[in-house]
Amino acid sequence: MCAMSSAVSASASMLNGAATLSNSKTNAAKNKYTLSDPSSALAASNSTSPLQIFVRAKKKINDIFQEIEEYVVETGNFIAALSKDGVLVTEKEVVTMDGYFNKVSGIKEVLARDHMKVAFFGRTSNGKSSVINAMLGDKILPSGIGHTTNCFLQVEGDESNEPFLTTEGNAERQSVSGIGQLAHALCNNRLGDSSLVTIHWPKTRCQLLRDDVVLVDSPGIDVSESLDEWIDKHCLDADVFVLVSNAESTLMNTEKNFFHKVSQRLSKPNIFILQNRWDVAASEPEYLTEPARLNEVRQQHMERAVGFLCEELKVVAPQEAEQRVFFVSAKEVLQQRLADSGHQAQVTALPEGFSSRIFEFKDFERRFEECISKTAVVTKFDQHAQRGRAIANELQELLLHIQQSAGQEREQKLQQQRTLKQRLHQVTQQLDTATHVIKDNIQRIVHDIDRKVSAALNEEIRHLSALVEEFNEPFRADPLVLNVYKKTLHSHVGAGLGCNLRAKLSDVVSSNIESSQKDMTARILTLLNEEQRKLAETFLLPRREPFEVFYGLDCANLCQDFHEDIEFKFSLGVVSLVKSFMGRAACRILNVSQTENVPRGSGLTPQTPSNELPPLGVSQSDWSLISRMAVSTVGSQGSMGLVLLLGMLFKTVGWRVVGFTLTVYGGLYAYERLTWTTKAQERAFKRQYVQHATANLHRIVDVTSNNCSFQVQQELFGMMARLSRLVDESLVTMKREVRTAEQLAKQLEETASAAKTLRNKAHYLDRELGVFQETYLHTARH
Ligand SMILES: Nc1nc2c(ncn2[C@@H]2O[C@H](COP(=O)(O)OP(=O)(O)OP(=O)(O)O)[C@@H](O)[C@H]2O)c(=O)[nH]1
């Protein structure tokens, strides 16, 4: 069993022999360990063990660094996520976070391995191994007369239930049976005196090891020349050094020189001096009879040891130096503790001063524990705590920067959002106004065009005869030829009208359209941003072809009901005269006469119609009869009618007048008949065509002008629609930008909030480490 449990029996023994111990430090210790109940004494010793300072500090700082590690991972993820957009954090900061993580992980690993290390040095056979065994309460290390320890042996606690050992550079677990001998054999056979063998001892078997104390035994400093190497390899991380001296002799130069070397390399190392084998000195017969002389010897040893520590090494103040020198017997303590644990028979005959030596050893252990605990807390944890605080502070700075940057960015985004909303509202209103004005302009232009097309077409209709006259395809009265002639004339007239209208109107239309387009473009482009404006100017505005109005004058269709009348008609014929003088009424009469099928060939001469009363005593009824007969005669073209008509005239005006008239009439008829040539037929045809087309074209003037203005309207509205679409797209883009700015502002707010939370966490961790320093490190230093 370990040292702590043996303290109970030591305390019990002390009750008998403590009176011999006058040293005040042992009295103080006696009071602490005078406990009636062994179990409660163990519990008390465990709970009040100074080593618990280190144990609790280690647990606390490990817990804190666990939190720091989790925190660094969380913050690292946060920063890595932010680095994607590269606004708030840079790639360098991500790398820095990786560095923090590596540092914290490294510290955590070191912390997990951290322990309190005590190294034992002294000349061969001074009892170093025995002291360690006594402290551990078990024969773990080999000890014996002569040079037994040939390399460094480190005893440390392990969670496993069975002990094992490992050698330097070889993590393989080696057999544990006869561990002392095995370690000894390893030292002898394979390893140099600077090499290290680690003995992993179950923590459950020893409180000291459970409390993270590691004990290192060394070969005798008087038999090695590798002292510098020892210091480098085994002393620099030691918290406490124990010089195991032989109380039978004074401190040797080899011992002193070694610690001079140590104190040169380390600042004020913690050194305890154990005057071991004090039992042998105390058992000298001369001291048994005269205990005062033993005290003198003790005093001499004490003065030299104190002088060595205070004046030579200067590692401790004079008033504390006596607390570092103890007169003990490791052999007796080990025996006592082995007996207490049942591994060995109880010592029946206790030598003189046994209890006080046992007690002084315990006192050493107490002082040693206090010292190593405080020292180890400072040496092991202070730097880590400082580093942890530095990391926490650096992260606070970084997060504060991110928080502030995110806040500023958010403000910018909100401002941008406000500006965009204003612009959106403004553009919407301006678009409404512009649309209204443009529509009015378009309507105005459309009416103007309508009016101009109408006027131009009317003028063209007025000059239609000229257009028809220009048509000089060969004319023949043959129906087939005439049909082709008509078709070609339709085309000529349609094309001519279209061409003339275009010539008259295209400049007006173009300038109107152009000015309107320029106006609407100027109005709309101001609603676009620079980029969209350029785009519009590049792809939208230039027309590939100039706009042309299609007049759609389809004369073939328009004049399809045209039927020419190019039969010869004597201008002084009854029908012509009737038509001339009586107009439609005569026509109706003619029609009626035709329908009544008046018999032909009355033989009467046609008479010039007149509105005046008939001369030569011809009554109204006679004129009516003559007219009817003439009409019937001409209408029937028969000789009977003519005969009847002539008969009537002979009877009325006399044969001479009739004869003369008929001669003249016949001459005229012959003249007209002879001059009724193809050319005359063509003229008649064209005249009829002009009349017919004029009438029909007049009917479509409104339709055509409407059609043209509609085309202009379509063109302008098309342009306006394209421009409006651009503005609409611009508005959609702006709305999207508003939403994006809103989302970004929200994200930035969340980022700032998250950065603040993380900053608070860093502050909390810094405070935790501060409290840790205050609780453990500040206390340990004072
Ligand atoms: N009487 C007496 N003998 C002791 C005491 N301490 C150690 N011894 C004996 O001294 C001898 C050497 O003890 P070790 O513990 O092996 O000494 P060491 O300093 O480790 O020796 P090395 O390992 O060789 O350097 C052993 O026989 C021990 O029993 C003591 O306090 N009193």
CATH code at position 121: 3.40.50.300
pLDDT at 292 over 50: yes
Give me the pLDDT at residue 36, please. 32
DSSP H helices in 611-677: 620-636, 639-653, 655-675
pLDDT grade for 187, boundaries at 50, 70 and 90: low
Instruction: Say if residues 640 and 599 touch (Cβ distance below 8 Å).
Output: yes
Index of the ligand 1 atom closest to the CA of residue 147: 24
Query: How many separate domains does the chain show?
Result: 1
Residue-wise pLDDT for 697-751, tens only, equals 999 999 999 999 999 999 899 888 888 888 888 899 899 999 999 999 999 999 9
Burial of 426 (0-12, 13-18, 19+ CB in 10 A): exposed
Give me the pLDDT at residue 147, please. 67
Residue 151 gets the label, from left (phi > 0), alpha (psi -120 to 50) or beta, of beta
Residue whose CA is at the smallest distance from ligand 1 atom 21: 125
Residue-wise pLDDT for 23-33, tens only, equals 333 333 333 32
In a domain, 437, yes or no: no
Q: Out of 144-148, 410-414, 686-690, pick the least confident.
A: 144-148
- Indicate the DSSP class of residue 173: E
pLDDT at 41 over 60: no
Residue whose CA is at the smallest distance from ligand 1 atom 26: 144
Residue whose CA is at the smallest distance from ligand 1 atom 23: 149
In a domain, 98, yes or no: no
CA of 32 from ligand 1 middle (Å) equals 29
CA of 347 from ligand 1 middle (Å) equals 19
| 240-246: strand order across its sheet | 170-174, 164-167, 196-202, 152-158, 213-217, 116-122, 240-246, 270-276, 325-327
Highest mean pLDDT, choosing among 108-117, 621-630, 753-762: 753-762
Residue-wise pLDDT for 509-555, tens only, equals 888 888 888 888 888 888 888 888 887 777 665 555 677 888 888 88
Q: What is the ipTM of this complex?
A: 0.99
Task: Return the exposure string of 234-262: e unless at least 16 CB atoms fall within 10 Å of the residue's CB, then b.
Answer: bbeebbbbbbbbbbeeebbeebeebbebb
Residue-wise pLDDT for 11-23, tens only, equals 333 333 333 333 3
pLDDT at 689 over 70: yes
CA of 244 from ligand 1 middle (Å) equals 10
In a domain, 747, yes or no: no
Residue whose CA is at the smallest distance from ligand 1 atom 30: 277
Cα–Cα dist 532/520, whole Å? 16
pLDDT grade for 658, boundaries at 50, 70 and 90: confident
pLDDT at 114 over 60: yes
pLDDT at 4 over 70: no
C-alpha closest to that of 143 among 363, 382, 330? 330
Give me the pLDDT at residue 191, please. 67
Residue-wise pLDDT for 592-629, tens only, equals 444 444 333 333 333 333 333 334 444 444 444 444 54
Burial of 357 (0-12, 13-18, 19+ CB in 10 A): buried
> Which of 120, 126, 130 for a ligand 1 pocket mutation test, highest count of atoms within 8 Å of Cβ?
130
In sequence order, what are the beta bridge partners of 117?
Answer: 214
C-alpha closest to that of 271 among 244, 313, 241, 303? 241
Give me the pLDDT at residue 512, please. 87
Give me the pLDDT at residue 742, please. 93
CA of 128 from ligand 1 middle (Å) equals 7
Helix 479-525 vs helix 530-539: crossing angle, to nearest 10: 170
Give me the pLDDT at residue 586, please. 44
pLDDT at 145 over 60: yes
The full length of the chain comes to 782
The larger pLDDT score, comparing residue 732 to residue 644, is at 732
Q: How far does the chain reach from its first CA to its final CA, in angstroms?
A: 34
C-alpha closest to that of 733 among 381, 423, 512? 423
Index of the ligand 1 atom closest to the CA of residue 126: 19
Index of the ligand 1 atom closest to the CA of residue 280: 1
The larger pLDDT score, comparing residue 719 to residue 243, is at 243
How far CA 714 is from CA of 442, 520, 701, 704, 727, in Å, comes to 10, 14, 20, 15, 19
In a domain, 221, yes or no: yes
pLDDT grade for 316, boundaries at 50, 70 and 90: very high
Mean pLDDT of 178-194: 62
Index of the ligand 1 atom closest to the CA of residue 278: 31
State which residues form the domain around 138. Answer: 117-277+291-343
In a domain, 53, yes or no: no
Residue whose CA is at the smallest distance from ligand 1 atom 24: 147
Cα–Cα dist 771/782, whole Å? 16
pLDDT at 257 over 50: yes
Give me the pLDDT at residue 367, please. 92
In a domain, 249, yes or no: yes
Ligand 1: lining residues by beta carbon, under 6 Å: 122, 124-130, 143-145, 147-149, 219-220, 276-277, 279-280, 329-331
In a domain, 219, yes or no: yes
CA of 129 from ligand 1 middle (Å) equals 7
Mean pLDDT of 361-367: 94
CA of 34 from ligand 1 middle (Å) equals 30
Index of the ligand 1 atom closest to the CA of residue 148: 24
In a domain, 271, yes or no: yes
What pTM, to 2 d.p., does this model score?
0.67
Residue whose CA is at the smallest distance from ligand 1 atom 4: 331
pLDDT at 505 over 70: yes
